[in-house]
Every structure is written in C-alpha cells, then in structure tokens.
C-alpha cells in the first residue's frame, strides 16, 4: 500500500469474530476494569479486535495493544499527522441479521452510530443503539435526521452525564434522543467530578493532566456507568420516569407502574415507545455506582404562625444494617398543614426498613431561642402544642422494592419534639380509627 503524502497514517480496525458452539460471541473486555472483573468472579473473553497502525514506513501494520499506550510510541504514531480511521463492517453474503447488532457510541460516536443505523435502516433496522453522553455542540437543536434519534434502531437508549451549559453550549446533548433517556444525578454534572477535586490529583498527575481529567470526568462517566452495569450483575441501577431533577429530588417519581422505571446500562428493558421517556436516578461517585432510593413524607400538625428552619437528621434501621445521622433539609422552612416530601439515597442495602430515629439537631443556642419564641408566638389552642413540634407519622416508599410503609411514634405519651431531642418511629398500620403499632 502506498502512503499518500497528505494522509500518511491509516488506522485499520480488523475485527475477527470467533463464534461459540451456539454461534454467538462475547464482547470485548472493557478497558481499564480488569481488576473489577476479577472481583465479580467473571472471566471476560480477551478481545479479538486488532488495531493496526499503518504509516509510510510499513505496509504490514503495527499492532496497538489495548490498555498499552506505550505501543503507540513503539508503532511510531505521530499526533501531528492527519489520521484516518477505517472501520469495517460485514458483507451481506454473511448470514447475519442486523437485528442482532448493538452499536455503542460515545460523544460524537453516538451520533455516528445513529447515522449508521439510519443508513442501514433503509433495508433492515439494526437491533439497538446506546448513546453514551452524545455530543451536544452542533447537535442540540438539530432535527432527528441530523443526530441520534429513536428512529435509528429498533431500540435506542441514551445516558446523559454532562449537559451543564457553558456560554450556551454543553459537552453532552441535553434533549432526549432515544426511546429511554437516562439522566444520572440530573445529567448536568456528576459526583466526584467537581473542580474541588483538582487539589487531590495535582500532586499525582500534574496541573495540566488534572484539569483535563476533571473537565472530561462527567462526560466519560456515561462510559463508566455502562461498564458498571456489565461488571455488577447483582447491582443494577434503577432509574425513574420524571419531568426534571427538582421533582425527582422530592422523591415524587419513584414509581415503576406502567413502565415508569427501567434499568440503566446494558441490561435495560427494551420497550420501544412512541415518545421519548426521561428517567432520573442518583449514583455514587465511584463504582459500584448503584444507590437505593427512598421517598419520605412528613407532616407537622402544629399551628405554626411563621416558618421556622430547624435542622433534622434520621437514622434508619433495616434488617441488614443501620444508616446513622442522614441530614434532612426541608426547603423554605416548616409551616402549618403542609406535607414535606424528600428523597433519601443509601449507598448500601439495609434490607427492609423497620425503625426510624428522627432527631432535631439544633444546638443549645437554638433551644434557648426556641423556648423564647414559643412563649411569644401562639401555637394554637391545644395544650400539647405549646412547646414543641408534633410529628406523629412518617410515610416511606422504597424505590427499588416499591414497598410502601408507615411509621408511628413508639411512645405516644410524649408527642412533642424539642431541639436536640430524638424520637423513635416504628412500623404501624393506619386505620380510620387508630394506629396499630407493629412489634419490632
């Protein structure tokens, strides 16, 4: 092969598929995650994909090894020269159905996958396309024909992880582009990718590399989330249909009825829809990314003249373990006759929730202020309400199990919650006449 002077480097991706006895093949091993694969006690088949670099000095090609950046230098890769990537497909003479094809594209590659699917779809649609934080610039306002869209395959799913805008542009596309569009942590930015993390990595990686690493952290999180779904079969992340992250943060969207929830990543339930569905979830900052979602509903029955803004914490006791002192923030302060709904996420599975410890965390200074204020402001006619907050029940819904629970005060002789005081709530069944506490 003669090398053209204007394009001296060719990168040829030669894919050799070795079928198993059943005529199926395993995908390539996710790069950089070998140790985690061992932890999951799974042996991933080594990739049979060969990356050959052809330049003006050789016509045979020099093989670039996965996870071996040093082989780029060994093969004489010159970043100052133009680069052409040739990706082969398959011949129509091969009996292979496009419906068995799954294209996975990251960033700009997500739209390239869409274009490939759209082109092939003129005859037979491919099975699935997964877009990993599809590129935003030049695509955000484009029509479906000019970007990844649900029409490009029988099923299209997309993960949005870096849609935060800077000067009117975002690295990842914000608009829905699939049958199911997943927005981890709202999709705008990802935990563990904040610029405050710069200081932790400068000493190890250097300033330039650290800034680059931090900027692309959220964008690449889509890739790691997808890989995570392959490495942890027993810890699949569930996302829930919701209008936006604000509503989701209130815990109001944890429903799985009529297809309102789905699994993030490779094991998504493939249910093509006529209209794109936006699903939200919270994740951890590192793998495994799964968290457990809970909605809590509380209502203070006091007559409160002016909003107050106390600080609360909850400790949750489950059948497997206990999570202590989870901070609770009620936006706008506490007012009368209002039900507060909020989302709580746990990094580990505590099992079935059996007890809640609810504590008013304010300091002794706040206690003195509270005692002064409550003597000035009328709280109502009932004697029980003159010196504390009244919280009789806590309602809970577990997103992952869809279980609904109600918790009542364990000690009904003392209903008032005071600053620095903790109340214990146990499972109960509410009837029209009275509450029946369950034994712990």
- Residue positions forming the annotated binding site for Ca(2+): 147, 152
Any idea of the CA torsion for 347, 264, 36, 319, to the nearest 10 degrees?
Answer: 30
Contact of 228 with 288, CB cutoff 8 Å: yes
Taking the alpha carbons of 26, 30, 34, 36 in that order, is the dihedral positive or negative? negative
Active site residue 133: yes
Contact of 65 with 31, CB cutoff 8 Å: no
User: Binding site, residues?
Assistant: 147, 152
Active site residue 219: yes
Q: Output the six-digit token pair for 179.
A: 């049958």
Catalytic entry in 111, 113, 118, 133 = 133
Q: 3-state secondary structure string, 179-229? A: CEEEEECCCCCCCCCCHHHHHHHHHHHCHHHHHHHHHHHHHHHHHHHHHHH
Measure the CA–CA gap between 259 and 117, rounded to whole angstroms: 25
Measure the CA–CA gap between 47 and 75, rounded to whole angstroms: 20
- Alpha helices, DSSP H only, in 44-165? 70-74, 108-120
Catalytic entry in 179, 219, 224, 293 = 219
Cβ atoms < 10 Å from Cβ of 54? 20
Q: Show which residues are catalytic.
A: 107, 133, 219
């Amino acid at each position: 092969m003669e090398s053209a002077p204007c394009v001296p480097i060719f990168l040829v991706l030669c894919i050799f598929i070795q079928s198993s006895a059943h005529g199926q093949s395993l995908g390539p091993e996710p790069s950089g995650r070998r140790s985690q694969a061992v932890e999951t006690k799974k042996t991933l088949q080594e990739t049979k994909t060969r990356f050959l670099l052809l330049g003006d000095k050789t016509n045979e090609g020099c093989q670039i090894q996965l996870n071996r950046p040093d082989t780029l230098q060994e093969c004489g890769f010159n970043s100052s020269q133009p680069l052409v990537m040739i990706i082969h497909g398959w011949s129509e003479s091969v009996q292979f159905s496009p419906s068995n094809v799954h294209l996975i594209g990251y960033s700009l590659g997500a739209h390239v996958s869409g274009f490939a699917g759209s082109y092939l779809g003129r005859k037979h649609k491919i099975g699935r396309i997964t877009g990993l934080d599809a590129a935003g610039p030049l695509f955000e306002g484009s029509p479906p024909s000019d970007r990844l869209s649900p029409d490009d395959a029988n099923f299209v799913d997309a993960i949005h992880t870096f849609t935060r805008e800077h000067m009117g542009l975002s690295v990842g596309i914000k608009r829905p582009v699939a049958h199911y569009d997943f927005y981890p942590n709202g999709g705008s930015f990802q935990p563990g990718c904040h610029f405050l993390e710069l200081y932790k990595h400068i000493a190890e990686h250097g300033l330039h590399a650290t800034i680059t690493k931090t900027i692309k952290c959220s964008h690449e999180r889509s890739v790691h989330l997808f890989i995570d779904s392959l490495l942890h079969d027993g810890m699949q992340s569930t996302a829930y249909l919701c209008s936006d992250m604000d509503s989701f943060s209130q815990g109001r969207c944890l429903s799985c009825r009529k297809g309102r929830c789905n699994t993030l990543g490779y094991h998504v339930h493939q249910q093509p829809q006529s209209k794109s569905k936006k699903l939200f979830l919270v994740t951890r900052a590192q793998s495994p990314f799964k968290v457990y979602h809970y909605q809590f509903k509380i209502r203070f029955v006091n007559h409160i003249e002016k909003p107050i803004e106390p600080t609360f914490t909850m400790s949750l006791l489950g059948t497997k373990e206990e999570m202590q002192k989870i901070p609770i923030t009620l936006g706008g302060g506490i007012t009368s006759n209002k039900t507060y709904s909020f989302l709580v996420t746990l990094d580990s599975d505590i099992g079935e929730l059996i007890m809640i410890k609810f504590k008013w965390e304010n300091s002794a200074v706040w206690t003195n202020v509270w005692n002064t204020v409550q003597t000035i402001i009328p709280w109502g006619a009932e004697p029980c309400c003159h010196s504390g907050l009244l919280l009789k029940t806590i309602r809970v819904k577990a997103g992952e199990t869809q279980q609904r629970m109600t918790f009542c005060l364990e000690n009904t002789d003392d209903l008032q919650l005071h600053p620095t005081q903790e109340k214990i709530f146990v499972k109960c069944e509410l009837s029209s006449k009275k509450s029946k506490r369950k034994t712990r």
